[in-house]
Amino acid sequence: MKTNPPDVVRKNKVPRCERHHAGLTLEQRAETAARFPAGRQAQMAFLLARYDNNAPLLAVFLGTSARAVRRHARGGVLPPGPRLRRALRRRVLDLVCPGCLADRAVEEAREAERDARRAARRPVRGRAPGH
């Protein structure tokens, strides 16, 4: 058979989380791929929605400007450069990779616990801790 199935091309485009890919089940890999928005514009729009349309905040995480974020989310402009593309991919993976989501849940639980302990230690108002 000499056909070139289109899903081979698509498979190559499925993003892999370098931290978790090896440890994910096939279902989780498929899930990640299904959740990952196709195209830069869709990815930027996806992130922007997740950040409550807070373009300046998202821009900080992506190492770009709020204007660039809005422009890319709207589309119809030059595609983002390699650095921004990498940052985009990484940020989206953080939100769609089951491994990253699990890591974040653990980290957030740890932080909440730390905050609770800190609050218990400082019942009266004092200096802001650790800033």
> Does residue 17 belong to the site contacting Zn ion (CB under 5 A)?
yes
58 binds Zn ion per the rule CB under 5 A: no
Instruction: Quote the least distance from Cβ 20 to Zn ion, whole Å.
Output: 3
Q: Which of 21, 7, 36, 24 is nearest to 96 (CA)?
A: 36
Q: Which is nearer to Zn ion, 72 or 91 (CB)?
A: 91
- The nearest distance, CB 107 to Zn ion, in angstroms, is 13
Minimum CB–partner distance for residue 124 and Zn ion (Å): 41
Count of residues interacting with Zn ion (CB under 5 A)? 6
Number of H helices, E strands in the chain: 7, 0
3-class SS of residue 30:
helix
In terms of CB distance, is 20 or 40 closer to Zn ion? 20
Q: For the window 98-127, what string marks contact with Zn ion as x by the rule CB under 5 A?
A: -xx---------------------------
HSE of 121, CA atoms in CB hemisphere, 13 A: 9
CA–CA gap between residue 71 and residue 77 (Å, rounded): 7
Do 100 and 93 form a contact (C-beta atoms < 8 A)?
yes
| Distance between first and last Cα of the chain | 64
Q: How far is the CB of 32 from Zn ion (least distance, A)?
A: 8
Contacting positions for Zn ion (CB under 5 A): 17, 19-20, 97, 99-100
